[in-house]
Structure 1
Amino acid sequence: MASTSPISIATPNASRASKFDYSIQSIAVPGTKRPGQTAHYRNALYGLVDVSVLPTLPDVFDNGYNINPDSKLLGHRPLVSTNPLKFGPYVWQTYKQVDGRRHRIGSALHRLFSQGELQGEDLQTVGIWSVNRPEWQLVELALHAYNKVGVGLYDTLGKDSVEYIINHAHLSIIFTMVDHIPALLKIAPKVAAMKMIVSFNNLSQDARKALVAWGETVGVQVKEFSEFEKYGEEHLMPPIPILPDTVASLCYTSGTTSQPKGVVLTHGNLASSAYSNMFGMEYSPNTSVLSYLPLAHIYERVVELTTLAIGGCIGFSTGDNLRLLEDVQMLKPHFFPAVPCVLNRVYQSAMAAGNVPGLKGALFRAAVRAKLDQYHATGVSTHAFWDALVFWKIRAVLGGNLLLVSTGSAPISAKVIDFLKIALFCEITEGYGMTENCGVCTHTFKADFNCGGTIGPPQPVNELKLVDVPSMNYTVEDKPNPRGELCVRGPNCFTRYYKDEKNTRDTLQDGWIHTGDVAEVDPQGRFKIVDRVKNIMKLAQGEYVALEKIENMYIACPLVQQIFVHGDSLQSYLLAVLIPDPVTLASASPSPNDQPPYMNLNNSLPGSTTVRT
């Protein structure tokens, strides 16, 4: 049974928000400014919260459990037909049912490690390689309660990255989907640590027999999830006491330019991040969130921890991106975490559907103008007439019940943010974070209706500062706004990369994470990412260019779905690989004379297009 949690749903100072002066969102701590650095900035509404007694991840679960053990927690859509492919409505497991299952799974893991069938190196690590599904969270919650270290692997990882992480993290057991089992067994001779694979899927008799036999030839046991859970039930034991500085997770970065780095995150790091997100939340228990962003990524992980902490429920998508809207409309979530590419698609689809010739288009444009004018003047995002006539259709696409949409991981334009606020008439927050600070660093305030294009003030658990980047001509004395590398510290910040002292020293300096992002802070105390440290290169003619800035310029065009800009210092030009948005491109069908002057598409066929800039 869950225990009493130290986390309070009624976060401190929540009542102050209605009286807050949003023209001052960050406070510069007196006496902290140094040459080449700004002062330390703190959240002006909540200050720097006291986390001297940090919660742990079992506390996060217990907080939701103690609100109502019988309320729903994990939901999924069962497969009801394969031809045609069809999924049913959501079915749910309650907090009480999940509590029992995490004990069984955790007991099985602990016994296997204790008996030596599974072996860690310096940490007892457990891998999860799967799309989002209830079993992912069941294993993760079991790891939290039984002092094991979770290692999430992106479902789309290639063979080399999977092999590297298994060896680097010394994974002796991996929970996965049936589709990944052959790939794991093929690399088994190269990953000596791996001793057991547990399939989330039930296996047919023939498949089970074949996979078990294959596993025996390479020294790896293959089991089904139900079999593993039954073993835990036969050897049930109570959870293991956890301390805030106990390691909870190795969260590997994407490794796009080098080998993935394993970010060591403790219970205190992750739990304080969820706690920080609760400040200003006004959502009741049973608030639902759609889980579709990868759980191996820190953003989705902390979103779901926060949902647990407030007694909410998590509905998992089918894992098929083409069915995402179907999942949304079936779940009707209150909270929709997103990334800019998803929200840009919503924006582009809405504009394409509404901005058409004739009366329909005229009404849409009038509605947009009227609501934007009202929102910028008053902060009110609802309008009885225009919502009933126009915007309810857009809101219904995402289920019709949204209270909060969050976005992060990449820039998004203020124009898109403001449109979504009036089209969905719910809170839209833009935030900033990284794996190294558990995805929590800054986010915008709900009541700040002119925050588009910024990432808001520091989170309540964090302090921020800017440091000069002289090689890029960014200084904290710049006018009108100070600019420099963004640095952050707080209880949510990591203390090391796993087995990687050099990168740890480069990133952590004097207790501050040097993010590698260049930011500025405006007169209201809101931060804005403007560049990337060292993300500049020199072309053959001696010209310095910032690749990310060029990508951000192109990505603002509705025709562009994805773009990658590449430079070679031996050449005088850049190359870009561009993927047009097929829906927008097909509906626009522009002639060469209609193309924007900054676009130079070599062809108009969907797919990859090479562009010389």
Structure 2
Amino acid sequence: MPLNREKVVDWPDNLPFDRQSIPVPGTKRPGQTAHYRNALWGFIDENTPNHFVTLDQIFEGGLKTGREREFLGYRPILSMNPLKFADQYEWLTWGDVDNKRRYVGSALHSLFSKGEVGGGEHETVGIWSANRPEWQILDIAMQNYKKVSVSLYDTLGKDAVEYIINHAHTTVVFATSEHASTLLKLAPKVPCLKLVIIIDSVSVQSAKLFAEWGQSVGIRVLEWHELEAYGKANLIEPIKPTPDTIASICYTSGTTDKPKGVILTHKSLAMAVSSNLYGLTLPDDGILMSYLPLAHIYERLCELCAVAVGGRIGYFSGDPLRLLEDAQILKPNLFPSVPRVLNRIYQAAMAGGNVPGLKGKIFRKALDTKLERLHVTGEVTHPLWDRIVFRKIQRVLGGQLQLVTSGSAPISAEIMDFIKIAFACEVSEGYGMTESMATCTRSWPGDPSASGTVGPPVPVNEVKLVDVPSLGYTTEDKPNPRGELCIRGANVFVEYYKDAKNTKETIDEEGWLRTGDVAEIDSVGRVKIIDRVKNIMKLAQGEYVALEKIENLFSAYPSLAQIYVYGDSLQSYLVAIIVPDPIALASIASEMLGKHITPEDQAGLEEAIKDAHVNAHFLSGLTAYGQKLGLRGFEMIKRIHLSLVPFSIENDTLTPTMKIKRREATKLYESEIAALYALGEPTSNRTSKSLL
């Protein structure tokens, strides 16, 4: 059977690129733009016919394509030492997954009903695992048996897992064996945890040791197959949710050190899926490649869309170094991605193609020809150059791509254009947040000038801009209005769990979500993200960083007089401008340069800050200090520029209250910052070979 396309709305043959979103008459107010809606498809909500409003409808929509159709794929492990995977994917059918979700869901319902787990405000179930079929099966089970999923992941900080388990009162957690060990070690700090289910295969001896260890700390440990057997023996039919039933609490980084729990209802997730089915391009045997973390909302949304239409999902082997091998075996059609991955594809392709001699000349000719064609017509294919140049790049990801999406962080227009012509398929950049189910805007295929924007609002959303006078952005700016981007729609979250203060600060009484991002809306109705309202920014891999927090922590480092930390959303790491303490610098320089330098010796200090060894000494000290403070990897400073010019009121880089004026500081050191990023991120041999 073909895909279930009854809820998919196809792109028309001719897209109105000159009119992609339109202002709603009568909605403009002082200090705000009008409300903008999608010009092609209008505005949808939960009352619009023929849309999903609960997540169980999404799985049933895919299931109707046929129980024998392939659904969830994986590469079996052939040996553990050395680790070796099969050179083909094996598949669970829709019927297999239907049975398993019933077993798992029934088991969870029975355990909660008997009081063996639970006791909190919601029946929460934790998942701590890399992407794998069991992750999706468990999520589907919870969607269909009214349980609340809680994703656990350690990129929010070493204490985040402990905090989330306690905050959400999570009494049962599904985890891989590696994480199960961590959970058992955490037992004294997570007294609510009663049950751990190991979802990967372990030896009989290991299973016995886990069970005994769990018993000693008051936590029951089961294997996945044991839970399935228990559910099969206590089988009940799925439990119908309502649109307002809570489906998940998804934790995300915020302005404090504690993650915020975003409450996601069935309606908000289902309506996000419905909206993303407008213009979804997949063949009847379409395959999505799953490698972005399922703990994050972006990947979950993409997989829900594949589920909704009865598509296939192939999971990578879990090792970033095998990602290309996985892709070449799987041959996906849909590749959800992030700038960090696409940037590396671009860099590798340019390094391999832009070389001296005839080969480089042919590559540059192909590149220039296709870019010109893209910018004039929007066309991304070429009968000659695709065959003799770009097919090699396309084969890197299996050669069958029809849709590549980029989300979670900004990507440069140059790289977006290259990815479009290199893969010769639809490449779409979108914008969204956990709080909006990764949904808000999306660029249109065939738009010659879409790169650099995130497109118009999707059908489920309307957007507006609000003045940010403190940063000089107004909705009356010319040629385009600028201001804080605000979102409204049926996909927007309900509240932060147990956090009324942040909820009130984020959603107003009219239901508008304040994103914290500054945007402009261009003349054809596309959104372009240009700044942040607060000094919290997102790195290229999608991690939020509080720049002032890092500066405050490092300000206590004894060798520093001042520090300015800078992050670029097109880059994956932080850099800093360091003004050393003159006394400390003189001492360090005297030792490292082998000559006596005093704090008053300006020429000697100038020589010192230009010395690579002195620079490395300061960076090494900052790194060790940051590790001592418990900073996460993406919060660490990777490159520094040493300067003897302090930030001051006189050079307009300090406020009267002695706070650094970030825009002015960036302008003052613009060339130095660019030079630091031109050097690239310091990487290990292992990570330099990986796309992730």
Post-superposition CA distance 1:505-537 (Å, at most 9, x none): 000012100000000000010000000012288
| Equivalent position amino acid for 2:33 in 1 | T
For 1:103 and 1:603, locate their aligned partners in 2 and report how far apart those are by CA, in whole Å: 53
For 1:11 and 1:123, locate their aligned partners in 2 and report how far apart those are by CA, in whole Å: 33
- Correspondence list, 1:124-523, <5 A: 124-154=123-153, 156=155, 158-254=157-253, 257-510=256-509, 511-523=511-523
Deviation at 1:603, TM superposition (A): 8.8
TM-score (norm 2): 0.79
Percent identity for Structure 1 against Structure 2: 52
The corresponding residue for 1:524 is: 524
For 1:259 and 1:34, locate their aligned partners in 2 and report how far apart those are by CA, in whole Å: 36
The corresponding residue for 2:79 is: 81
Post-superposition CA distance 1:461-515 (Å, at most 9, x none): 0010000111111110011110000000101000100000000000001210000
For 1:357 and 1:569, locate their aligned partners in 2 and report how far apart those are by CA, in whole Å: 42
SS in 2 for 1:346: helix
Deviation at 1:605, TM superposition (A): 9.7
Instruction: Tell whether the 8 Å contact from 1:535 to 1:546 is kept in structure 2 after alignment.
Output: no
Post-superposition CA distance 1:220-260 (Å, at most 9, x none): 00000000000000000001111011000000003585200
SS in 2 for 1:244: coil
Post-superposition CA distance 1:65-108 (Å, at most 9, x none): 11222211111101002233211111001111101110000000
| Equivalent position amino acid for 2:383 in 1 | A
The corresponding residue for 1:588 is: none
TM-score (norm 1): 0.89
The corresponding residue for 2:34 is: 39
Change (3 A) 1:359 1:533: same
The corresponding residue for 1:9 is: 6
The corresponding residue for 2:687 is: none
The corresponding residue for 1:65 is: 63
Deviation at 1:577, TM superposition (A): 2.3
Post-superposition CA distance 1:521-556 (Å, at most 9, x none): 00010000000012288999xxxx9966x5247x3x
SS in 1 for 2:64: helix
Deviation at 1:10, TM superposition (A): 4.5
| Equivalent position amino acid for 1:551 in 2 | D
For 2:53 and 2:525, locate their aligned partners in 1 and report how far apart those are by CA, in whole Å: 29
Post-superposition CA distance 1:322-371 (Å, at most 9, x none): 00001110100000000001000000000000000000000100110111
- Which is further off, 80-89 or 518-527? 80-89
SS in 2 for 1:445: coil
1:551 to 544, 548, 568: 568
For 1:579 and 1:183, locate their aligned partners in 2 and report how far apart those are by CA, in whole Å: 33
Change (3 A) 1:577 1:298: same
The corresponding residue for 1:598 is: 674
Instruction: Tell whether the 8 Å contact from 1:120 to 1:171 is kept in structure 2 after alignment.
Output: no
Instruction: Tell whether the 8 Å contact from 2:575 to 2:676 is kept in structure 1 after alignment.
Output: no
Change (3 A) 1:435 1:597: closer
SS in 2 for 1:18: coil
Change (3 A) 1:80 1:447: same
Change (3 A) 1:389 1:35: same
1:577 to 630, 634, 637: 637
Deviation at 1:317, TM superposition (A): 0.5
Change (3 A) 1:207 1:255: farther
| Equivalent position amino acid for 2:18 in 1 | S
Instruction: Tell whether the 8 Å contact from 1:437 to 1:493 is kept in structure 2 after alignment.
Output: yes
The corresponding residue for 2:588 is: none
For 2:464 and 2:390, locate their aligned partners in 1 and report how far apart those are by CA, in whole Å: 40
2:20 to 18, 25, 29: 25
Instruction: Tell whether the 8 Å contact from 2:379 to 2:446 is kept in structure 1 after alignment.
Output: no
The corresponding residue for 1:102 is: 101
Instruction: Tell whether the 8 Å contact from 1:250 to 1:264 is kept in structure 2 after alignment.
Output: yes
The corresponding residue for 1:563 is: 573
Change (3 A) 1:358 1:408: same
Post-superposition CA distance 1:415-464 (Å, at most 9, x none): 11111111110100000000000000001001212100000000100010
For 1:21 and 1:546, locate their aligned partners in 2 and report how far apart those are by CA, in whole Å: 45
Change (3 A) 1:447 1:9: farther
List runs of 5+ in structure 1 lacking aligned partners.
556-561, 581-594, 609-613
For 1:156 and 1:444, locate their aligned partners in 2 and report how far apart those are by CA, in whole Å: 29
Aligned length: 576
| Equivalent position amino acid for 2:293 in 1 | P
Bigger Rg over Cα: 2
Instruction: Tell whether the 8 Å contact from 1:125 to 1:149 is kept in structure 2 after alignment.
Output: yes
| Equivalent position amino acid for 2:675 in 1 | M
For 2:577 and 2:247, locate their aligned partners in 1 and report how far apart those are by CA, in whole Å: 39
For 2:208 and 2:400, locate their aligned partners in 1 and report how far apart those are by CA, in whole Å: 46
Instruction: Tell whether the 8 Å contact from 2:377 to 2:446 is kept in structure 1 after alignment.
Output: no
SS in 2 for 1:70: coil
Change (3 A) 1:486 1:211: same
User: What's the C-alpha RMSD, in Å, of the aligned pairs?
Assistant: 2.8
| Equivalent position amino acid for 2:440 in 1 | C
| Equivalent position amino acid for 1:36 in 2 | G
SS in 1 for 2:137: helix
| Equivalent position amino acid for 1:524 in 2 | V
The corresponding residue for 2:585 is: none
Post-superposition CA distance 1:26-55 (Å, at most 9, x none): 110000000000000000000002431652
Instruction: Tell whether the 8 Å contact from 1:107 to 1:235 is kept in structure 2 after alignment.
Output: yes
Deviation at 1:153, TM superposition (A): 1.1
For 1:33 and 1:311, locate their aligned partners in 2 and report how far apart those are by CA, in whole Å: 42
| Equivalent position amino acid for 1:346 in 2 | I
For 2:678 and 2:281, locate their aligned partners in 1 and report how far apart those are by CA, in whole Å: 50
The corresponding residue for 2:612 is: none
Deviation at 1:601, TM superposition (A): 8.2
Deviation at 1:155, TM superposition (A): 5.8
Deviation at 1:138, TM superposition (A): 0.8
| Equivalent position amino acid for 1:410 in 2 | A
For 2:66 and 2:341, locate their aligned partners in 1 and report how far apart those are by CA, in whole Å: 33
Deviation at 1:600, TM superposition (A): 4.5
Deviation at 1:158, TM superposition (A): 4.9
- Which is further off, 255-264 or 186-195? 255-264
Instruction: Tell whether the 8 Å contact from 2:564 to 2:576 is kept in structure 1 after alignment.
Output: no
Instruction: Tell whether the 8 Å contact from 2:56 to 2:240 is kept in structure 1 after alignment.
Output: no
For 1:436 and 1:571, locate their aligned partners in 2 and report how far apart those are by CA, in whole Å: 43
For 1:229 and 1:149, locate their aligned partners in 2 and report how far apart those are by CA, in whole Å: 19
List runs of 5+ in structure 2 lacking aligned partners.
537-546, 553-562, 583-608, 610-617, 620-635, 641-670, 685-692
Deviation at 1:564, TM superposition (A): 1.1
Deviation at 1:207, TM superposition (A): 1.5
SS in 1 for 2:40: coil
For 1:151 and 1:10, locate their aligned partners in 2 and report how far apart those are by CA, in whole Å: 28
For 1:522 and 1:605, locate their aligned partners in 2 and report how far apart those are by CA, in whole Å: 33
